[in-house]
Copies of this chain bind each other. A is one copy, B any other.
Amino acid sequence: MPRPRSLSPDRLAEATVAVVDRDGLGALTMRTVATELGMSTMALYRYVSDRDELELLAVEWVLRDLDTTAPTGDDPPDRLRALAQRVRDTVGAHPGTVPLLVRHRHRSGTLLRWSETVARILHDAGLDGTRRVVALRALLSYLIGALQLEHLGPLSGPGTTVIAHLPEAEFPYMSDTARQARTVPADDEFAGGLDLLLRGLAAG
């Protein structure tokens, strides 16, 4: 009976991510999102109870196309690899939101469904009890950490540059590694690290 809503949660999330994409995470405030939508700041509170909820909405929007169903195939490592790659690809479209993803990971339904699929595949691979707990947490840890390292926080510039300028006398191996790193595509870096983990899983 009353006035109908003029905004969908989706539109809200889209505007939030648009602000982050354009001006960075540091520019994300209730005001900037409201401006993006052409509304007053307080109008947002008709749709979300606080900023945290807005951020979660943004995270879910970024992950909206993430396929959380189990990949086909027989080889468990292959299936896990595909699942992890999907997250990286999806998040890669909006790298500025990575810190939001990290902060709200445990409240994201999409990520929980993703984890459920991972857990099921680990079970199918014969892992249970402690070994499954360890494997699941390790995969999540690597994913969270790798995404963050790849898209260094909004406060700093590209982190590889910082490391590449280390004094060579004091950090010979790091300097060399940083030099090499510039020739290694980020894709390969992520996939390579993931493979280490999966190989360890298969070997265990």
Residue of B nearest to A136 (CB): B177
A116 lies within 8 A of B184 (CB): no
B145 lies within 8 A of A181 (CB): no
Interface residue? A1 (CB, 8 A): no
Specify which chain B residues have a CB less than 8 angstroms from the CB of A22 in the assembled complex: none
A173 lies within 8 A of B142 (CB): no
CA distance A163 to B118 in the complex (A): 15
Copies of the protein in its oligomer: 2
Cβ-neighbour of A195 out of B113, B149, B200 (below 8 A): B200
CA distance A129 to B184 in the complex (A): 9
Residue of B nearest to A52 (CB): B155
Specify which chain B residues have a CB less than 8 angstroms from the CB of A203 in the assembled complex: 199-200, 203
Residue of B nearest to A129 (CB): B180
Specify which chain B residues have a CB less than 8 angstroms from the CB of A131 in the assembled complex: 192
Interface residue? A42 (CB, 8 A): no
Interface residue? A64 (CB, 8 A): no
Residue of B nearest to A157 (CB): B106
Interface residue? A7 (CB, 8 A): no
Please give the distance in Å from A136's CB to the nearest CB on chain B.
6
Of the listed residues A135, A137, A194, A199, the one surrounded by the most CB atoms of chain B closer than 10 A to its CB is A137
Closest 3 pairs between A and B when the two form their complex, measured CB to CB: A145-B145, A138-B193, A200-B200
Q: What are 26 sample pairs from A and B whose C-beta atoms fall under 8 A apart?
A: A52-B155, A103-B155, A106-B156, A106-B163, A107-B156, A112-B166, A116-B170, A116-B171, A116-B173, A122-B173, A129-B180, A131-B192, A133-B177, A133-B181, A134-B189, A138-B142, A138-B192, A138-B193, A140-B145, A142-B142, A144-B144, A145-B146, A196-B201, A197-B197, A199-B204, A203-B203
A contacts, CB < 8 Å to B = 52, 102-103, 106-107, 112-113, 115-116, 119-120, 122-123, 129-138, 140-146, 148-149, 152-153, 155-156, 159, 162-163, 166, 170-174, 176-177, 180-181, 183-184, 188-189, 192-201, 203-204
